[in-house]
Structures are given as C-alpha cells and as structure tokens.
Structure 1
C-alpha cells in the first residue's frame, strides 16, 4: 500500500493554513499522515488551528517551533518526523498551497504509471487560473545551473523537468534517506533549488497534469525587499559553489550575477528608492555566499 505523509509549514497565516488543511481533508484519497510545522507564529495560529482540527488523532500532528528558522528548517523538521512513520512517500508544501480535489489520487495513479520515478509534482495554479511558471524549471546550463521555466503548453500533459520548488512536491522515502533533508541554514530562497539539485542525481522529476495545486501567493519576482535579496544572493552563490565547485566558470557566473543585481537597481524605480539597502544586501550576500556563511543573519530578518 502506498502511504503518504503530508508536511505543511506555516507562519502567521492561520486562515490560509485552515484552507490548506481542509483541502487535505476533502481529498478522495487523503494522505495517511499530516504534519503541521508552525515556525513560531505570533498570530494565534496554534489555538486557532487546534480548535478547528482534531490533532488528538494520532495520524495528525501539530508541532510548534521555538523560533522561526525559515521554511527549509520547517520542512526538515516535518520530514524527519514523517520518516518515523511507515510512509513510503512524503508531500511537502507551504500553508498557501491548496490541493484541488483528487490531487493525491492523481499522485498515487502516477506512482503506479511511472514506477521508475522517485519525485512527482502537480501543476501549480495561481488564483486567476494561470500556471505559476516559476515552480517547474529545466536546466539550460549545467555548469552554472542556469534554468528556464517550463512553457505553458507543456502543462497540457505529463512532463519531466529538472528543478522544483517546495509547492506540491512528493518525494519517495528512498530518495530522502539517500540525499538527506533540506539545507536548514538557507533560511529562505534557493533551499528548494538546492534540494532539487541533490534529488536530480536519482533522475528527472515527473509533473502530473491531472494533479493540481492552487498557490495563493502574493509574491512576484518583481517584488523587492532588501532582507530577502540578501538570501537570494547568498544562497544562489553558496549552492553553486557547493555543487559545481570553485572554478573559473563559477567565479565568472557569480561576479556576473552580482553585477546584474547591482545594475538592476539603476533600471527599476522601486529598487532605486532602496538603493543603499540593496547594495549592502547584495555585497554582503555575495561575500557570505562565497564563504558559505549560512543561517539566519540578524541584519537580514523580516522587519
């Protein structure tokens, strides 16, 4: 029997978490286990959710962390707990991922249809019904791990790809036990990218067109916050050096990445208004990424 554990990481979004959990409950084939990892929410999430759901059920678990260590640490915590069950697959997502009816049934069908696959995903949709394109990517340059998004046309059928986000991902126990848990010290940004690079050693990933997850996010790549940009710069460089080494090509790419980010400050008005903070974030992120100084940085935390 294919047993699935569903890990959901949350922080200060209790209504969204309620919707995400309800979307698990209404599945035609629900996961056998559910783990909610609360990254030290301050909005009353714990009481709100416990009042609405039966966490006394031994299959549902609510875990509140002592501090917000970021999504990657939350996923690592949930996956560690899930591995203590008899599940053979683990689903991971944030609290803004709402599974459409039949999502897990489609995943189970995919497991039978593609027995050689060890990582599956569903198609990620935005509230307007369009595909959220940044979640499934293919590598265009292996030396620098450069990627492009999968085309909209591709989503009409099942397809293989190279890089996933942590929205609607299902990983086999065997892969997780082989590659370990997500990098907890990445805090935010590129933690999923780095984990995908590790998982890719066991083959490309399969996206199932029949499995759909609604991503209720307000984030866009045009939205800029200096504290977030620090982790974008730092983690992108750190993962590239980790997986491709310190060579001429990597050094050239990292310098070019920094230069492009600095030039973008001049090109976009919303960045020019934050020029000093962004320059500091990019330069410090570049330095810390190069020297693998990871973890939460007190100078770059949500305000």
Structure 2
C-alpha cells in the first residue's frame, strides 16, 4: 500500500488504562521501549491504584522514548471511565489517532507501523492479538444489531484483502481517528465495565467503514480461566462483571432509542440470551450456580436507567 507513508506515527497517542496491576503495566511499558516507530504520546490513566503504579510510571519517563502523560484519578471509574478519560486527554493533546489498550497486553515492536499501514484507508481499525499461550485470539467483531449481542461464529479467516468489515469495537486495541471521536463523542463512563467498547465501535461503524485487519499487533500477558468448546473459548467472569453485563443492557437500550434502531422484541431476546450465556458461564467455567443474584440485581437496576427521563447519550465533541 503506497499510501501508507502518509501515516505519521507522531500523530498517534497510545492510551492505557490501569488499576492495581503494576506488574502487568511494567511488561506493557517494556514493550513500548522496544517499539519502532513510537507514538507522539503515551497517556496512562490510573484508576486510583493503591499499589506502586505511580512509581512504575515515573521510572519509565526517560526510557519509553516519547512523552508520558500520567493521569491518576481520585476514584476507580472502571475501564469505561478510564478509557473515556484517556481518549479525552489524547483528543485534547491534538492526536489524530488514538490507540486504546488495557494494561494486560504488550505491543509487538512494529505494532504501530502495522496499524498505520491501514490508516490512509480507514478511520476505525482493530488489529489482531495473540492470546496468553501464543495462539491467535478470536474476537467477536460482528454484532447482531437488533439484539445488540456479539455473533460468536463470525468467520475468523481473512481473504486477500487483509481486512473484514466490523460493527463492534474492543478497547483492547481500538485504533480510531479523531474525526470519528469528534462526531460520536467520548466513550460513555457510565458503563463502568462491559459493553462500552462494543457500543462505541457500533457507533463508529454507523458513520465510517470500520474494519478488523489481519495484523498481529498485541499479545495478551494475563492468563484467564477458560472453557474450551472446540471452536470457541468462554472466559471466567466475576460477580461485578455479571452485574454490569445485565445492568448495562439498559444503557445500550437508551442509545438504540436515541438512534432510532430499538426493536423491543429483538432487543429483549438479546437480553435473554445474554442472561442464559452468563448462566452457562457460571456452570461450565466457574463450576457453580452462585452469582445468579448479581445478574438479577443488574436487570433490576437497569430498569431505573431505562426510566430516567433526564438520561442523554454522550454528546459529540464537534458540531
């Protein structure tokens, strides 16, 4: 792609969200030291960690090879709040491209160059990543829009084009242009965790051609308990995740209503399937049925969000 030279790495900002995992953040920062080329900025949003995260960040200021902007929040705002703040800082720095990631990945040395290869063609891009064991990680890049749930068996292979259309997003590697951020606004911190990146990627796909590209750019550095179904894995979860998985369906519903795509029957089916999937996760992955109450509590609290007359989607950043 001859146009790839038009991408300037200095116009990109890597935005990292971390919370009490300085040992993982260290591995990520080590990988940034080895990156070539490097971004113009690295923004680190610390969700009020109580470990030695601040000291770790400071120890890398003269080693990463680019400017580090460190934001330590007063409270834990969850991944959603962290990414919203990270994108806000990157946007205000004037970044053209924002590359989002958690602290439990490392960047492959040529990762930014690989993402930049596609920058002249697309404005919402997702790269691929290796799992903890080195195998290719399958990410559900398509959602069934009417139900607002991922399609678990969307084809994993790529053709000669090297990309596939997506209508979702993942903050573990989302690479997005400021023009799109300006139009759809910042990620919604009210999610706290879960569904926030899927919705944000869906919003982006409504105004631009969003793609996942056949480029391995990240590697996961944290092992997660899984159940292997042969063609797909199912990860372990937590009571907090179970609560927000169900509560945040109401936030998606509010966005769907605002965008004029809400179908109560199909969306309700998606919510029921989500509830069923989480029950299966409890039984097969975590070998328990305890945790169901958190799913039910999430549904209950979601009803208050659905009825809130003052609720509004996140505003655009530019007219």
Instruction: State the TM-score, normalized to the length of structure 2.
Output: 0.80
> Could you tell me which residue of structure 1 aligns to residue 267 of structure 2?
250
Greater percentage in helix: 1
- Tell me which moved more, 157-166 or 117-126: 157-166
For residue 177 of structure 1, give the secondary structure of its aligned residue in structure 2. Answer: helix
Deviation at 1:255, TM superposition (A): 4.0
> Could you tell me which residue of structure 2 aligns to residue 301 of structure 1?
none
List per-residue Cα deviations over 1:243-265 (Å, max 9, x = no partner).
1436233234434543x258548
The 5 A counterparts of 1:66-215 are 66-112=74-120, 114=121, 117-134=122-139, 136-139=140-143, 141-149=144-152, 150-154=154-158, 157-215=162-220
- Tell me which moved more, 159-168 or 189-198: 159-168
List per-residue Cα deviations over 1:98-129 (Å, max 9, x = no partner).
110111111222113x2xx1111211111322
List per-residue Cα deviations over 1:14-56 (Å, max 9, x = no partner).
1211221222232221100110111111111101221233399
* Aligned 8 A contact 2:279 2:289 in 1: no
> Could you tell me which residue of structure 1 aligns to residue 21 of structure 2?
13
Structure 1, unaligned stretches of length 5 or more?
295-303
Cα distance 1:82–1:250, how it changes in 2: closer, same or farther (>3 A)? same
Deviation at 1:280, TM superposition (A): 1.6
List per-residue Cα deviations over 1:136-170 (Å, max 9, x = no partner).
4213x331123324434338833222212111111
Structure 2, unaligned stretches of length 5 or more?
1-6, 227-233, 308-319
Cα distance 1:44–1:126, how it changes in 2: closer, same or farther (>3 A)? same
> Could you tell me which residue of structure 2 aligns to residue 297 of structure 1?
none
Question: Is 1:234 equivalent to 2:247 in the alignment?
Answer: yes
Deviation at 1:230, TM superposition (A): 0.6
Deviation at 1:90, TM superposition (A): 0.7
List per-residue Cα deviations over 1:248-290 (Å, max 9, x = no partner).
33234434543x258548954845352xxx2221111112223
For 1:142 and 1:266, the matched residues in 2 are separated by 26
Number of residues of Structure 1 aligned to a counterpart in Structure 2: 285
- What RMSD in Å do the two structures reach over aligned CA positions? 2.7
For 2:124 and 2:177, the matched residues in 1 are separated by 6
